[in-house]
């Protein structure tokens, strides 16, 4: 029996490590008839089901924020952002702004990548911001909220992130000695988890820790 795709997806952060893999998975999925990506720069590839929209996240337009399922893979580093304020804008304000617009437009499922250790009480700024976006997304009361907390991400990056490459190398080298929760995780596994859980018809809030994501 042939499955006819009938859902729509919207992706934020489609040019990033997880977002790029996820977008490819989504357009090939039998679940979605169309996949929209909101980007600042072109993806550089095309697909019949893919719709690419150049988007200004600083002054978001509600019109394109419409889909059944919304996937957020936005994220930066302190070095790339240049300041705590700039980092917070990308990892907190942009996802929250789009989540609000999506909820108003009828999006029923919101999936987001945060980080292992996300905690509003954390003494580490990075983890605290991740905890804050989780908290405030929860307050929006989406019908379905899926939160993914990976450890250090493994995979090919188009940009040079020296510290992350060093961490990735160490994770691979010492992997047998590292507890499951802290092991580095392939970005493809996180993308797979996001796609597969989106198809399960879950309701309410669900958090997937890094060790659980290894199964995907």
What positions carry a catalytic annotation? 126, 130
DSSP three-state, residue 18: helix
In 3D, which of 73, 57, 61 has the Cα closest to residue 24? 73
Residue 146: exposed, middle, or buried by beta-carbon count in 10 A (0-12, 13-18, 19+)?
A: buried
> Nearest 5 degrees, angle CA 135-CA 94-CA 19?
95
DSSP three-state, residue 57: coil
Query: CB within 8 A of 187, min separation 6: which ones?
Result: 17, 18, 21, 150, 153, 154, 155
């Amino acid at each position: 029996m042939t499955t006819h795709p009938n859902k729509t997806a919207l992706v934020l952060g489609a040019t990033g490590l997880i977002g790029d893999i996820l977008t490819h998975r989504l357009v090939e999925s039998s679940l979605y008839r169309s996949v929209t990506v909101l980007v600042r720069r072109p993806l550089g590839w095309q697909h019949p089901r893919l719709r690419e929209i150049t988007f200004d996240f600083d002054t978001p337009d509600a019109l394109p924020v419409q889909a059944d399922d919304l996937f957020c893979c936005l994220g930066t580093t302190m070095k790339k952002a240049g300041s705590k304020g700039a980092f917070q804008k990308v990892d907190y304000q942009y996802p929250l702004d789009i989540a609000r617009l999506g909820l108003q437009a009828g999006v029923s499922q919101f999936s987001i990548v945060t980080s292992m250790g996300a905690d509003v009480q954390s003494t580490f700024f990075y983890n605290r911001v991740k905890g804050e976006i989780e908290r405030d997304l929860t307050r929006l009361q989406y019908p379905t909220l899926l939160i993914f907390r990976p450890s250090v991400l493994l995979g090919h990056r188009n940009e040079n992130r020296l510290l992350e490459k060093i961490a990735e190398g160490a994770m691979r080298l010492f992997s047998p000695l590292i507890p499951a929760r802290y092991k580095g995780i392939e970005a493809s596994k996180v993308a797979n988890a996001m796609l597969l859980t989106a198809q399960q018809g879950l309701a309410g809030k669900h958090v997937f820790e890094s060790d659980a994501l290894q199964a995907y």
